[in-house]
Structure 1
């Protein structure tokens, strides 16, 4: 089963993803897309690391997400990807007009090809006002397109607000 979990910052989406992974009775591989480029992000990463079970594997992959999924997904494993919007920021930050398109296509190809359990976590950023600046507008637009593509490919889509899951597609166990 592929699951997309969307929500705002500190909505409880990562906690829900981790709960689903823990309840799966499968080995868990956590693919982290964050990069500790400043002290505040380093603290966020440390918080996520501290609450993960020690038995879970972890791969840090800020860019080549499709390749990481192909390398680590398997029939006896659940892969948890946290977070797609950080991956999007990473890709757009180095975008030469080609890089993001290539990585986006590789991600969608991997998702569509792999029959294994994957849980994606992502920030829903399109609910507010249209942002100022070309890059921030592109980020919001690309996040929306990415979410739509993944929602179509996933059997389950959940929106989380205030720690409460709202199932938009499929059902929760």
Structure 2
């Protein structure tokens, strides 16, 4: 099997990034696993998840994992043609809000460093895979500076995480108003 490709799909809320990633996954292979990081804690989030589920073809498998994404990706590698991981920023939120990771009582800077090391582990692992992986993430750098510590921490971690994945990715797309714009390809390296 040839080396898989790592693709990052960025976009704002309701930009069409997930739909674009789904179409891309269908072009890359037939055996697709949707790796979902959403934690369903309320009725509104359950509704959002249901919309995503109904949009996907019935032959796609779904794996749900809120924290141990690197392990989940490793388990799936070689067992499918494409992993569609939706989404990186929900995973980051789950890690940021988990009071036990990396250990109870961890300071904000320690937590942020832990999360970014996990993102680096994911990025590095993805570059060695046989399976294609498409990672969907929210582009958070275009908004205002949040007025609270948690919001600023999330924005900072998400922005840095997107940069880490983008540096390792074979291709990066930005989706705005449902229109994908390729911002990095193998042909363009910095």
TM-score normalised by length of structure 2: 0.84
Name the larger-Rg structure: 2
TM-score under structure 1 normalisation?
0.92
| Conserved? CA contact 2:119–2:165, under 8 Å | no
Pairing 1:40–2:44 present: yes
Alpha carbons 2:120, 2:164 under 8 Å: kept: no
Q: Counterpart in 2 of 1:145?
A: 160
Per-residue deviation at 1:23?
A: 1.6
How many residues are aligned here?
171
Equivalent position to 2:129, from 96, 111, 114: 114
Q: Given the superposition, is the C-alpha separation of residues 103 and 95 from structure 1 closer, same or farther in structure 2, using an over 3 Å criterion? A: farther
Secondary structure at the residue paired with 1:30?
A: strand
Q: Gaps spanning 5+ residues in structure 2: where?
A: 104-110
Could you say which residue in structure 2 is the equivalent of 1:51?
A: 55
Aligned ranges 1:1-173 → 2 under 5 Å: 1-74=5-78, 76-96=80-100, 98=102, 101=114, 103-170=118-185
Give the CA deviation at 1:114: 2.1
| Runs of 4 or more consecutive aligned structure 1 residues displaced over 4 Å after TM superposition | none
* Larger deviation, residues 69-78 vs 20-29: 69-78
- Measured after TM superposition, the shift of residue 76 of structure 1 is 4.9
Structure 1 range deviating more: 93-102 or 11-20: 93-102
For residues 110 and 37 of structure 1, what CA distance do their matches in structure 2 show?
A: 30
Distance in 2 of aligned mates of 1:88 and 1:76 = 25
Q: Alpha-carbon deviation of 1:135?
A: 1.0
Is the alpha carbon distance of 1:61 and 1:97 closer, same or farther for their aligned partners in structure 2, counting shifts above 3 Å?
closer
- Conserved 8 A contact 2:6-2:127: no
Q: Residue 24 of structure 1: CA displacement?
A: 1.8
